[in-house]
Structure 1
C-alpha cells in the first residue's frame, strides 16, 4: 500500500491538518487489516470504491464521501480489492467551524456528506483525472465551507487544545479555566459544542497519542520509561489506558503496527 501526505491550502491550516492519500491493489481473495488508534480528531473520507472499505455491507447504500466526528473507540477494518482513499484529517474544532455542526452531534458517528450540505463534490471527485485535481477540489470545497461558517469563534478551544498538546497533559482543568477566564461549566460546554468530548477525556487521549508516537520510533524507550515520561501512575496504568484507546497492548503495537495513515495503521496479524 502506498501513502502520501499533502498539506492543505494555507487558508485552511487552522482547520485542516493534512490530506492523506492511500492507494494500492489487494490481490483477489485477500484482505489487508488496518487498526485505528483513538485520536479524537474528526475527518472526511473519500472512497473511490466504497466496496473496498465496506466489504461486508453488500446491500446498504455506501457513500463515496462521508464525515466522521471525534471518536473514542478503536476498531479493525479489512480492506479488499482496489483501494483509493483520500482522508482529510481535521483539527479538533473543524466540524463546528467548517460545517456549523455541534461537535457532540457527530462524536462517535459518521454521516454522508450530502446529508450535511447538498453539493456535487462526490461526483466531481469521481470524475477528476488524478490526485492533484482531487486535492484542488477538496481545498476549494473546504475554503467555501470556511467562508460560510467563519463567524464561529473557536479560539478558546483551540488554545486549550494547544496547551494540552504542547505542554503537560496532566495540566489541571482549573489552570485551563484560569488561563481562559471561564468557569468549569463553561469549559465543559465549550468542548462539548466545538469538539464533542470533555476536556478531561481530550487530555487522556492527547497523552495516549504522545505515547503512540514514542512507541513508533525505532529507538523506542522501555514501557516503564514511557509511562514515567507521560505521567501515568505506573506501567500497569499505561498498559490499561493504551489498550482502552487502541484495543491492543503497547508491546503488541510495537510488534504488529506497520505503515499507514495517521492513526490508521496496517496491522500484521
Structure 2
C-alpha cells in the first residue's frame, strides 16, 4: 500500500472551525483495501480519480463510488475503501460548524458520502488538483475563503461549541447525559433533540465515540508496558471485556486488530 498524506493548519480565523486540511494521494497499480475509523469529524473534500473509489460503511455490501467531484461525509462506524490512483484535497471540520457552512444536517449524511454542489468560488479546484505541481496551498486558500464567507452569512450559537470542547477535553467523556443537560439548563429530551441537530447523533452515542477516540490514542501510542486492561481503565471501563465489546460495536474491530495495523490510513485521521 502506498499513499501520501499531509495535513495543513487552517488560517488563524478558522482555527476553531477546521481541525486541519489534508492532502491524500494514492498511487497503486492494483486495487488496495484500507479502512478509516470514526473520528467524530465530518469531512469536505474534492477527489480526482481515474477509477471510482469504492467505499463501504459498517456492514454495507453495496459500495458508494467516489469519482471526480466535491463530497461531504460523516460516520460513527468504520469505513472500508478500495482504491488505485486518486488525489484528494479535503478538510476535517468540527461538527458544530458543519451545517452553517454546507447547509446540510449531520444526521442527513451520517455513514455516507454525498455529492456537494460546487460553489462558484470553488470552481477552480478541479483544474488545480488535476494540474501539474503542488497546488494544494491555493486549493486550501479557496476552501478558507468559502468557509469564511458562509460563516459570515450564518449566525452561530456558541453554546454547543462549549459543549463540544467540554466533551472532548480530558475526561469529558465521563460526563453523563443528565449532568450535561443540567449544565446547559435543558431537559434531557430537549438536549437530545438539539444535540442531534449539532452532532448528528444522540448525546450518549457521541460520548461513546469520544471515549473510543481517546482509547485509539492510547492504542496507537502505547508502549510495551501498556496493556489493554490498563487502557480500558484509563478511559473509564471497569473491565477489559466491556471495553473490547464497546470498541468492536463502534468499528467492527477489536483493539488488538487496530494495534496490528499501524500502517493503515486510519492512524492518520485521528481526533486526538
Once the two structures are superposed, residues 190-249 of structure 1 have per-residue CA deviations (whole angstroms, 9 ceiling, x without a partner) of 111112111111110000000001011151620000011111231111111111222211
SS in structure 2 opposite 1:41? coil
Query: Is 1:134 aligned to 2:136, yes or no?
Result: no
Distance 2:195 2:50 in 1: 32
The 8 Å contact of residues 38 and 77 in structure 2, kept in 1 or not, is answered as yes
Query: Is 1:20 aligned to 2:22, yes or no?
Result: yes
SS in structure 2 opposite 1:33? strand
Structure with greater contact order relative to length (CA < 8 Å, sep ≥ 6)? 1
Distance 2:47 2:7 in 1: 16
Equivalent residue number for residue 34 of structure 2: 34
Query: Is 1:185 aligned to 2:185, yes or no?
Result: no
SS in structure 2 opposite 1:54? strand
Q: Extract structure 1 runs of 4+ deviating beyond 6 A.
A: 55-58
SS in structure 2 opposite 1:197? coil
Q: Residues 8-157 of structure 1 correspond to what in structure 2 (within 5 A)?
A: 8-26=10-28, 28=29, 30-49=30-49, 51=51, 53-54=53-54, 62-69=67-74, 71-81=75-85, 83-114=86-117, 119-120=119-120, 123-128=123-128, 130-149=135-154, 151-153=155-157, 155-157=158-160
Once the two structures are superposed, residues 82-118 of structure 1 have per-residue CA deviations (whole angstroms, 9 ceiling, x without a partner) of x21122101021222212333322223332111xxx5
Distance 1:196 1:17 in 2: 18
Tell me the matched-pair count: 254
SS in structure 1 opposite 2:124? helix
Distance 2:144 2:54 in 1: 26
Instruction: Tell me the CA shift for residue 188 of structure 1.
Output: 0.8
Distance 2:46 2:215 in 1: 29
The 8 Å contact of residues 4 and 21 in structure 1, kept in 2 or not, is answered as yes
Distance 1:135 1:13, change over 3 A: same
Equivalent residue number for residue 267 of structure 1: none
Structure 1 gap segments, 5+ residues each: 265-269
Instruction: Tell me the CA shift for residue 52 of structure 1.
Output: 5.1
Distance 1:134 1:147 in 2: 20
SS in structure 2 opposite 1:152? coil
Once the two structures are superposed, residues 176-200 of structure 1 have per-residue CA deviations (whole angstroms, 9 ceiling, x without a partner) of 1222122212211111111211111
The 8 Å contact of residues 106 and 200 in structure 2, kept in 1 or not, is answered as yes
- TM-score, reference length from structure 1: 0.85
The 8 Å contact of residues 50 and 64 in structure 1, kept in 2 or not, is answered as no
Structure 2 gap segments, 5+ residues each: 57-61
Distance 1:108 1:259, change over 3 A: closer
